[in-house]
Structure 1
């Protein structure tokens, strides 16, 4: 009996050894997270302030990859005449993702006079349209944050499948890369990006695949300070997204 158990144990260990793959080296460093915290402090400082006269309320940084990154709620948006809350941490996440993957990113820098995820008739959407026309990205990542009470790590908004335009690999690959970083609870179309004039709806109408990422605020850091930020979780989300974008870049 003991011999049979021993043989079974050896067999199972052999199978596991044959199937297991070695982990990849981490790519996100402490310096990356420290920089993200510094960037977010600027967003927080300007979040409720409208841009000074002559200055834009959003910024574009150009890259060379085939992925375009959008953070329309990095600062507080104006919706129906009132300033709403920002998606804390999404600005720094988007900027760091763009820097690490050499991707173009567009994001708000001051309080937006017109919510880019609620209205189409604003300068942000016009700039976004021009970016899509000139750069012709393969994919647009529309980055948002969800309340930390939400049961998921990430909700994928796809307009019930319409925004990914038949490219199921976008969702499955993104899930796989995020799972490698310890994110395991996913949702699809809890926020489908179909209500109002969302960025994802706007991009989809232009013929470009787009996915709205509603990332739980536990991963983005609602406020960047020693009491509330969770640096490891931010690093995990950033690393998963970086690896996904690199995958998209390499598989044209």
Structure 2
């Protein structure tokens, strides 16, 4: 059952530092439940429409017209998840926000955990707060096994910096270092965004806090929408980890010093 939005009288007060950011591309009707669930637990919530053509842009604009805590930003054409996130955090930084919790628009992520993740971020603003997915029986086995491989590479590329899960997009980012690493190169704009963001932020010295988070895969009959293409996206991840491993080799002395330097130095 979709999570119902809280009554307006119990809506959370607006944060000046932390916002929920939802990149959205052709998510189907479930996006309305996702946004309502996020708004019930946080203020503000921003949605970046990444060139959607399924009618969801109109639904979200209608919701935003009735809710001061919801803002909709729109890109004219599909550019990829990372590009949508970058568009959102750059605007957020201009308005004084320091952190963004990213939430997928398809209902798979646990909106009820938004306050807990935000609280962890507020306690450690220097860190990224990473969700570690807890899968149900409905999760595609090939996806679960595939992310274990990606996680192994991510922890090798960071000398075991503590990335609990490299692919799960339910996480809180400190905006300034994320924007900095994204502007510094032309990758991280599509499906490669989440794992590369975690690795590059670890390289930049951003520590990771890992919190468990249930994930739900919906069937098409339940309104589930997936844009994952097995060959295309695994090829993208393979190329990404090849690049990151080469970058890791160049950074190895500095990463090793940071990891094992004597205490107090």
Q: TM-score, normalised by structure 2?
A: 0.32
Higher helix share: 2
Give the TM-score, by structure 1 length.
Answer: 0.33
